[in-house]
Amino acid sequence: MNLSESVTAEASPRPPVRAAQYVRMSTEHQKYSTENQAEIIAQYAARRGFEIVKTYEDSGKSGLRLDGRLSLQQLIADVRGGQTDFKAILVYDVSRWGRFQDADESAYYEFICREAGIAVQYCAEQFENDGSLSATIIKSMKRAMAGEYSRELSVKVFTGQCRLIRLGFRQGGAAGFGLRRYLVDEHRQPKAVLNHGEQKSLQTDRVVLRPGPPEEIEVVRRLYRMFVVQRRTETEIATALNDEGILTDLGRPWTRGTVHQVLTNEKYIGNNVYNRASFKLKAKRVVNTPDMWVRGDGAFEAIVERDFFEAAQRIIQERSRRFTDEELLGRLSALLVEKGWLSGLVIDEVEDMPSSSTFRHRFGSLVRAYQLVGYAPSRDYRYIETNRTLRTLHPDVVAQVIADIGAAGGTVRRDPVTDLLHINDEFTASLVISRCHISPAGGLRWKVRFDSGLRPSITIVARMQEDNAAIHDYYLLPWLDVGTTPNLRLAPENGILLDAYRFDTLEAFFDLTRRVPLKVAA
């Protein structure tokens, strides 16, 4: 090689390194908009010799957990599956990668990328993510600070919400049958009625509850009279309302659960109650004890007399009071003498009898309770009782899904025969509750049966916990990927191809249904 060729070779620029960028925006200030992040990342890439060939974007997503962040999930899945054509991932800063409450979780996702030979670069940080001791210490500190920021913000937001509750302002949620949400200004002057799915636009505006149409108010009061005076059960009341063609505020038939909600919610006597349950920092939902509730009594105009409401609570409390083991077994023995045999259905049909779930939770199973009163069923009916419980649970879960879609601003049409949900007139969804059973080898298994006749765009699979008493998690399964298989068997772990669709909550699904108004060009 002569001198001229050597100089030319040295002057030839190296080809740019192919890179992907990940941008995320929650609901924070403008500096974290995806456009601003992309601009800073582009400047970093130009300086460092990167060529951005792919973008993963999560808009309006919290960084507390991986759930709901579909683009980051796809990025991790692509890296794990070797489906990448880039050697680096460019991120604005550590907090955009995530505000995980466990800093090790953030490090874990970065480690997956590094193990696959793909470096993660934080473009707006003052340190080089080069694996050095100083970078490791600073990065760990930044991760902890990102998580702490969310914790501090959560405390501040919660304190502000509690103050507004005590002042008599509503903090989210549907108004409920017989009530309406009203928008008021900072001086409590009424501005407008908020219809289902509508939200306030000004930060200074507030929302209060006011009585709804007279015909709905009369239905609520009649519901209380039927329960308190006539001593009719929630199921009987729901049947009577449905026979009259009366629908709930969501346009659905009444169920035992929806009647029970009306009978137990203090908003019908004008009280503003908050923090019954906690779901802070995307952690597991926790039902709080009454001493943790935040109250604003007499905040709204009552539509039910307090005496009727308190009488209804006494009936419910007496019905659900805690019996001793001896009292429960005594009642079960008396029922066995009367009926000659026992089952969950027989127990639940007796009005003043504790429910079959009470016996199941107290003694571990119905079969164990049967044994303690000397009853041995001729066959194991536990799966029948479980299936019956899940069939009863299904309409309540569907109703809650419809309500949450409405709260997110979406619209739903439900087929009354098939329960198929037509969402925003864009796609369909079907809900399947999957019973947990134990295999002969002792493992947990869930069986999912797809309805080939309905062909929903997405099948929501609610997997039950081991005791089938509550929902464990959810799978959002697209028909195009899994619908050709009539049955699917799930284990606790199913590999990335299936577990990429697993979520602890349905927040990701509600994000799909959220409508965003578009500006019309002039």
DSSP one-letter string for 190-201: EEEEEPTT----
DSSP E strand stretches across 16-117: 17-25, 50-59, 88-91
- On whether both 295 and 356 belong to a single domain, the answer is no
Q: What is the DSSP letter of 518?
A: P
- On whether both 196 and 313 belong to a single domain, the answer is yes
**pLDDT tens figures, 82-117:** 889 999 999 998 888 887 777 778 888 889 998 999
- On whether both 431 and 312 belong to a single domain, the answer is no
Least confident of 75-79, 219-223, 338-342: 338-342
**pLDDT tens figures, 422-471:** 998 888 999 999 888 887 777 888 888 877 677 888 999 999 988 788 88
Residues sharing a CB contact under 8 Å with residue 20, sequence separation 6 or more, in sequence order: 52, 53, 54, 55, 56, 75, 84, 86, 88, 89, 90
Evaluated on CA atoms 282, 285, 289, 293, the torsion sign reads: positive
- On whether both 78 and 202 belong to a single domain, the answer is no
- On whether both 183 and 289 belong to a single domain, the answer is yes
What pLDDT band is residue 8 in, cutting at 50, 70 and 90? very low
Tell me whether residue 173 is in a domain. no
**pLDDT tens figures, 348-363:** 667 667 777 678 778 8
Tokens of 489: 């068997």
Q: From CA 106, how far away is CA 358, in angstroms rounded?
A: 42
Residue that the structure tokens 């779901």 belong to:
279
- On whether both 417 and 294 belong to a single domain, the answer is no
Would the pLDDT of 20 be above 90? Answer: yes
Domain count, the chain: 4
**pLDDT tens figures, 23-50:** 988 765 555 688 888 888 999 999 999 9
Strand-strand pairing, 17-25 and 50-59: parallel
Domain enclosing residue 127, as ranges: 17-151
Would the pLDDT of 65 be above 50? Answer: yes
Would the pLDDT of 317 be above 80? Answer: no
**pLDDT tens figures, 67-84:** 778 888 899 989 988 889
Q: What is the CATH number of the domain that holds 500?
A: 3.40.1350
Q: Which of 340, 373, 406 is the last residue of a domain?
A: 373
The residue among 485 and 228 whose pLDDT is bigger is 228
Mean pLDDT of the region 490-502 = 86
Tokens of 299: 């905040």
What is the pLDDT of the chain when averaged over all its residues? 80
Which pLDDT score is estimated for 313?
Answer: 85
Mean pLDDT of the region 187-205 = 73
**pLDDT tens figures, 246-273:** 998 888 898 887 888 899 888 898 888 7
Which pLDDT score is estimated for 384?
Answer: 59
Torsion over CA of 419, 254, 507 and 54, rounded to 10 degrees? 30
What pLDDT band is residue 379 in, cutting at 50, 70 and 90? low
Quick check: pTM over 0.75? no
- On whether both 140 and 194 belong to a single domain, the answer is no
Tell me whether residue 162 is in a domain. no
Would the pLDDT of 420 be above 80? Answer: yes
Tell me whether residue 482 is in a domain. yes
Main-chain phi, psi angles of 231, to 5 degrees: 55, 40
Q: Which of 318, 340, 362 is the last residue of a domain?
A: 318
Which pLDDT score is estimated for 517?
Answer: 58
Main-chain phi, psi angles of 174, to 5 degrees: -70, 155
Q: From CA 328, how far away is CA 377, in angstroms rounded?
A: 19
Most confident of 95-104, 153-162, 216-225, 413-422: 216-225
Which pLDDT score is estimated for 120?
Answer: 92
- On whether both 410 and 486 belong to a single domain, the answer is yes
pLDDT above 70 as % of the chain: 80
Of the candidates 85, 54, 87, 88, the residue with the CA atom closest to the CA atom of residue 71: 54
Mean pLDDT of the region 486-495 = 84
Mean pLDDT of the region 386-402 = 78
User: With contact defined as beta carbons under 8 Å apart, do 181 and 193 qualify?
Assistant: yes
- On whether both 463 and 478 belong to a single domain, the answer is yes
Which pLDDT score is estimated for 425?
Answer: 86
Mean pLDDT of the region 376-396 = 67
User: With contact defined as beta carbons under 8 Å apart, do 95 and 149 qualify?
Assistant: yes
